Structure 1
Amino acid sequence: MHTQGDSTFLPTRDGRTLHAAVLPGSVDAPIVVFEAGAAASRSSWAAVQPAVGAFTEAVAYDRSGLGRSAPDPVARTLDRMADDLNDVLDGVGADRRFVLVGHSAGGPIVRLAASRRPDRVAGLVLVDPTDEAADVLFGTPFRVLEQVMVRVGWVLARVGLLERVYAGQFADAPADVRADAHREAFTPGVMSTHRRQAATFLTELKSWRSAAPDLGDIPVTVISGAKAGDGMNASMRAAANASHAVRAAASPHGRHVVAENSAHNVPLTDPELIVEEIRRLATATPPPRG
Structure 2
Amino acid sequence: MTGRGLRGPVAAGLLGATALAAGAYAVSRAVGARSAPPGKLVELPDGSRLHATWHAEGAGPVVVFENALLSAMPEWFWVTDHLGSSVPFLAYDRSGTGWSPRAPRRTPSAAGDHARRLRQLLEAAELPPPYVLVGHSVGGLLIRGFAAEHPTEVAGLVFVDASHPDQFERSRVQRESLPVFRQNLLLGRVRAATGGMYRALECSHITRLPESVAETTRRRLARPGPWAGAAHELNRCLHGWNDEARGLTTVGTAPVAVVTAGRTVRGDAVHGRLQEELAGLSEVGRHEVVEKAGHEDLVMDRVHARVVADAITWVRERAVGTPGGTAEEGNERCDRR
Same fold (TM over 0.5): yes
Matched, 1:222 2:253: no
**For residues 227 and 171 of structure 2, what CA distance do their matches in structure 1 show?**
24
* 1:115 and 1:213 in contact (8 A); partners too: yes
**For residues 93 and 259 of structure 1, what CA distance do their matches in structure 2 show?**
35
Matched, 1:141 2:176: yes
* 2:251 and 2:281 in contact (8 A); partners too: no
Residue aligning to 1:204 = 240
1:176 to 204, 212, 216: 212
Matched, 1:9 2:49: no
* 1:225 and 1:259 in contact (8 A); partners too: yes
Structure 1 counterpart of 2:274, which letter? S
SS in 2 for 1:44: coil
Between the aligned residues of both structures, percent identity stands at 24
Q: What is the CA-CA distance between 1:62 and the residue it aligns to?
A: 1.0
**For residues 111 and 220 of structure 2, what CA distance do their matches in structure 1 show?**
23
* 1:223 and 1:258 in contact (8 A); partners too: yes
Q: What is the CA-CA distance between 1:169 and the residue it aligns to?
A: 1.6
SS in 2 for 1:227: helix
Residues 144, 221 of structure 1: alpha-carbon distance in 2 compared, 3 angstrom cutoff: same
Matched, 1:255 2:286: yes
> What aligned pairs does 1:74-223 form with structure 2 within 5 A after superposition?
74=105, 79-134=112-167, 135-136=170-171, 141-167=176-202, 168-204=204-240, 207=243, 211-217=246-252, 218-223=254-259
Residues 71, 53 of structure 1: alpha-carbon distance in 2 compared, 3 angstrom cutoff: farther
Matched, 1:69 2:100: yes
- Structure 2: unaligned runs, 5 residues or longer: 1-25, 31-37, 319-324, 329-337
- Number of matched pairs: 281
**For residues 137 and 64 of structure 1, what CA distance do their matches in structure 2 show?**
30
Does 48-57 or 34-43 show the bigger shift?
48-57
Structure 1 counterpart of 2:227, which letter? M
Residues 88, 154 of structure 1: alpha-carbon distance in 2 compared, 3 angstrom cutoff: same
* 2:54 and 2:91 in contact (8 A); partners too: yes
* 1:138 and 1:202 in contact (8 A); partners too: no
Structure 2 counterpart of 1:169, which letter? H
Residues 37-86 of structure 1: CA deviation (Å, up to 9, x unaligned)? 01111011111122223331122111111222221235877733333222
Does 269-278 or 53-62 show the bigger shift?
53-62
Residues 35, 10 of structure 1: alpha-carbon distance in 2 compared, 3 angstrom cutoff: same
Matched, 1:287 2:330: no
**For residues 55 and 110 of structure 1, what CA distance do their matches in structure 2 show?**
23
Residue aligning to 1:35 = 66
Residues 38, 100 of structure 1: alpha-carbon distance in 2 compared, 3 angstrom cutoff: same
Q: What is the CA-CA distance between 1:137 and the residue it aligns to?
A: 6.7
**For residues 131 and 179 of structure 1, what CA distance do their matches in structure 2 show?**
32
Q: What is the CA-CA distance between 1:14 and the residue it aligns to?
A: 0.9
Residues 255, 177 of structure 1: alpha-carbon distance in 2 compared, 3 angstrom cutoff: same
Residues 262, 45 of structure 1: alpha-carbon distance in 2 compared, 3 angstrom cutoff: same
Q: What is the CA-CA distance between 1:283 and the residue it aligns to?
A: 2.6
1:273 to 307, 326, 330: 307
Structure 2 counterpart of 1:62, which letter? D
**For residues 100 and 188 of structure 2, what CA distance do their matches in structure 1 show?**
20
Q: What is the CA-CA distance between 1:256 and the residue it aligns to?
A: 1.1
**For residues 99 and 140 of structure 1, what CA distance do their matches in structure 2 show?**
30
**For residues 55 and 200 of structure 2, what CA distance do their matches in structure 1 show?**
30
Structure 2 counterpart of 1:3, which letter? S
Residues 139, 182 of structure 1: alpha-carbon distance in 2 compared, 3 angstrom cutoff: closer
Residues 261, 84 of structure 1: alpha-carbon distance in 2 compared, 3 angstrom cutoff: farther
**For residues 141 and 241 of structure 1, what CA distance do their matches in structure 2 show?**
17
